Amino acid sequence: MTSPIGPTDSSRVPRFAGPATFARLPGLDEVGAADIAVVGVPFDTGVSYRPGARFGPAGIREASRLLRPYHPALDVAPFAKVQVADGGDIAVNPFSISEAIETVDAAADGYARAGTRMVVLGGDHTIALPLLRSLHRRYGPVAMVHFDAHLDTWDTYFGEPYTHGTPFRRAVEEGVLDTEAICHVGTRGPLYGPRDLQEDRRFGFGIVTAADVLRQGVDAVSQALRERVGSRPVYVSVDVDVLDPAYAPGTGTPEAGGLSSRELLEILRGLAGCHLVGADVVEVAPAYDHAQITATAASHVAYDLVSLLALNRVE
């Protein structure tokens, strides 16, 4: 695509007017095809504590109105470099986790066939599993950098194997992740017991805790992540609760002692040059937000992920 269509010109249409697509981008139906699509999955049936992430995609899009077309830290104008569009929402069954997973999986395959990479707005973290399954069919086992307060490698909740706390255990069991190149970042808070960490290590995950980020600094953490994933296709999954509740109160399972939004964005920017093939930003629950604090942070995270994908145009 030689002449990508960019966001609505804010000098002609005020930012607070018009449809709330992500960053005021055109809809996918307006451009026909896109290199990158920002896609919502308004689903939170897999949550274990506070619901409301089904309203996350709309909340992130609304907060994204203020985003601008040039990213100075990465020196890229992502919407000019490649065609980026808002793909709307994947309509999933809110009463069936298994059917919702199948629907997301099939939709992700459709984007893959069209040659479109996805930045997905959740929704709860359950949706990462079908997205990873789809990427596995295209790339084989993928590397993953997982930003989260929690491990999300538990076995079941109330006997249910598919919840927002289990996607990466299932992904390891199914062989969709490259277990030599997977890592959690920002974990903290109480666990059920030491077995949680023991099993997580057995699955192959490295862990960079929130305290590690504080003590080592963002540059050292980014360097370690780049070394871990190498040149492999890598998926980045961002649960907004990786941020401290001061920066992201609007989420379902907040934990004190998290990253600042500045730390998260700088670590993401440190992944420039990695072979990023897809990403998600999940667990924004606007009902618990205040003054769009969480949605604003999430919109900037999504913008950075789009920018990283734009830099990695050639696969």
| Token pair 């491990």: residue | 151
- CA pair distance 22, 305, nearest whole angstrom: 13
pLDDT score, position 134: 98
The chain-wide mean pLDDT, for the chain, equals 96
> Which CATH topology does 28-311 take?
Arginase; Chain A (3.40.800)
pLDDT score, position 9: 86
- CA pair distance 35, 45, nearest whole angstrom: 30
pLDDT band for 300, please (50, 70, 90 cuts): very high
- Per residue in 182-202, pLDDT (tens digit) is 999 999 999 999 999 999 999
Q: Are 55 and 288 in contact (CB under 8 A)?
A: no
- Per residue in 49-97, pLDDT (tens digit) is 999 999 999 999 999 999 999 999 999 999 999 999 999 999 999 999 9
- Per residue in 220-258, pLDDT (tens digit) is 999 999 999 999 999 999 999 999 999 999 999 999 999
How far is CA 90 from each of CA 5, 54, 93, 153, rounded to the nearest angstrom?
23, 11, 10, 25
Q: Are 206 and 183 in contact (CB under 8 A)?
A: yes
pLDDT band for 138, please (50, 70, 90 cuts): very high
pLDDT score, position 1: 46
- CA pair distance 30, 86, nearest whole angstrom: 10
Lookup: tokens for 39 = 């896609």
pLDDT score, position 12: 87
pLDDT score, position 251: 98
For residue 125, the SS3 value is helix
Q: Are 250 and 283 in contact (CB under 8 A)?
A: no
Is the pLDDT at 315 greater than 90? The verdict is no
- CA pair distance 59, 43, nearest whole angstrom: 13
Annotated domain spans of the chain: 28-311
pLDDT score, position 10: 87
Longest dimension (CA), the chain: 57
- CA pair distance 174, 289, nearest whole angstrom: 35
Is the pLDDT at 314 greater than 80? The verdict is no
pLDDT band for 2, please (50, 70, 90 cuts): low
- Per residue in 145-161, pLDDT (tens digit) is 999 999 999 999 999 99
Residues ≥6 apart with Cβ < 8 Å to 194 = none
pLDDT band for 217, please (50, 70, 90 cuts): very high
- CA pair distance 295, 66, nearest whole angstrom: 12
- CA pair distance 272, 305, nearest whole angstrom: 10
> Average pLDDT of 37-47?
98
